Structure 1
């Protein structure tokens, strides 16, 4: 089962503002792209966020 996170949850996870999360989508290399589940409901796959975190730590 795939787990999803909202922009608010992603922001809390990384200790940043929600606007920063959206800025990262366009400016941070390899930051996971959100998925539009329905109109007005955009989420990130938790497994993709975790993989991005691991890749950052490995550098």
Structure 2
């Protein structure tokens, strides 16, 4: 048996389970507080919240993950 490893560029990306993130989870993931998140949304610099109920909003977890990844890429 030969063990072949895939080159890094061709390695499959880990799949993130898509779910609705509530504000607390978004705050933990980004390190931002509510007011800053809503200010960034107003400026078009953060994914928009989606209405999920009469008095509830949430964010698409994939949009948040992509946003965080883009910010981390800018640091390098």
Interval containing the TM-score (normalised by the shorter chain): 0.7 to 0.9
Identify the structure with bigger relative contact order (alpha carbons < 8 Å, sequence gap 6+): 1
Q: Runs of 4+ in structure 1 displaced over 2 angstroms? A: none
Looking at secondary structure, tell me which structure has more helix per residue: 1
Gaps of 5+ in 2: 1-16
Please tell me the root mean square deviation across aligned C-alpha atoms, in Å.
1.7
State the TM-score, normalized to the length of structure 1: 0.78
State the TM-score, normalized to the length of structure 2: 0.64
2:37 pairs with 1:27: no
Looking at secondary structure, tell me which structure has more strand per residue: 1
Which protein has the larger Cα radius of gyration, Structure 1 or Structure 2? 2
Q: Give the superposition deviation at 1:28.
A: 5.1
Partner of 2:19: 3
Gaps of 5+ in 1: none
